[in-house]
């Protein structure tokens, strides 16, 4: 059985009988939930999975846990100077890491780094998108656009096909629902849910704008009634601020 905890921004933990998996740790929650879970992990193997090097997905503190297994995207290893043996694995899209507690398929992202599909020994599947999304920014947000909107759409839909080669359904999906996209905030999430049957969907990368996100998720609930939508991140009203 897997238990999911939202921490902050794009950080989640997945806890099993044998492992504690931490995704994209940047900052802890206000009640220090992540550190409490780590301290109480007992004999569980600790993992830190980092999708890419951006500041809001990486905290160098992960290197302080000598018993942790660090599964890092290739760009994180290079840009944050964390290499083997400190990094247990350095992953590019298409790579597979497997040990006694999990199997990780590294998948493509529309941004830097990777997305990840983790399969647990009991068959439970967990998808963490990192920054893989249909970043379909409004036309007045030109500073965000590095390619045409059609090219972005094509890349994202191609990435979904890559997931579908492995599986057409996942138990848990952590996926960006970013209010900066304006009226297109739900575009990528809808396309994901149309193609990948998802048991539990967790919005992330919301920049503290949870009122907008919760309203959007209400629309998704009507469109995809078989999916359970979890907005426990709503308790985090603080807008993330980058360190200088």
48 or 144: which leads in pLDDT? 48
DSSP string, 115-138: EEEEE-TTS-EEEE-TT-S-----
Residue 111 pLDDT exceeds 80: yes
| CATH number at 3-235 | 3.60.15.10
Per-domain boundaries in the chain: 3-235
Query: pLDDT tens-digit profile of 29-54?
Result: 989 999 999 999 999 999 999 999 99
pLDDT in tens, 48-102: 999 999 999 999 999 999 999 999 999 999 999 999 999 999 999 999 999 999 9
Q: Spell out the residues 6+ positions from residue 222 whose beta carbon is closer than 8 angstroms to its own.
A: none
The answer to whether the CB of 175 falls within 8 A of the CB of 129 is: yes
58 against 232, higher pLDDT: 58
73 phi and psi angles, rounded to 5 deg: -65, 155
Prediction pTM value: 0.94
Give the strand pairing for 11-15 and 3-8.
Answer: antiparallel
- Return d(Cα 236, Cα 190) in angstroms, integer: 24
Higher local confidence (pLDDT), 182 or 141:
182
Share of the chain above pLDDT 90, in %: 87
Give the chain's mean pLDDT.
Answer: 93
pLDDT at residue 6, as a whole number: 96
pLDDT in the model for residue 244? 33
> In this prediction, what percent of the chain has a pLDDT beyond 70?
93
């Amino acid at each position: 059985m897997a238990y999911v905890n939202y921490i902050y921004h794009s950080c989640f933990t997945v806890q099993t009988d044998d492992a504690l998996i931490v995704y994209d740790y940047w900052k802890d929650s206000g009640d220090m939930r992540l550190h409490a879970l780590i301290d109480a992990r007992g004999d569980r193997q600790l993992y830190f999975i980092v999708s890419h090097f951006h500041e809001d997905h990486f905290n160098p503190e992960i290197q302080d846990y000598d018993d942790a297994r660090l599964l890092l995207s290739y760009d994180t290893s290079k840009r944050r100077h964390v290499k083997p043996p400190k990094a247990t694995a350095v992953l590019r899209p298409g790579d597979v890491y497997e040990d006694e507690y999990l199997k990780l398929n590294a998948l493509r992202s529309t941004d830097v780094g990777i997305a990840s599909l983790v399969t647990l020994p009991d068959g439970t599947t967990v998808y963490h998108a990192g920054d893989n999304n249909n970043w379909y920014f409004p036309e007045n947000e030109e500073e965000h656009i590095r390619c045409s909107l059609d090219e972005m759409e094509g890349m994202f839909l191609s990435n979904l096909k890559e997931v579908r080669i492995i599986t057409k359904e996942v138990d848990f999906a952590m996926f960006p629902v970013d209010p900066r996209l304006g009226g297109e905030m739900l575009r990528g999430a809808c396309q994901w849910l149309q193609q990948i049957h998802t048991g539990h969907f967790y919005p992330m990368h919301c920049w503290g704008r949870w009122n907008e996100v919760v309203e959007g998720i209400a629309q998704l609930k009507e469109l995809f009634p078989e999916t359970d939508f979890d907005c426990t991140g709503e308790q985090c009203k603080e807008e993330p601020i980058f360190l200088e």
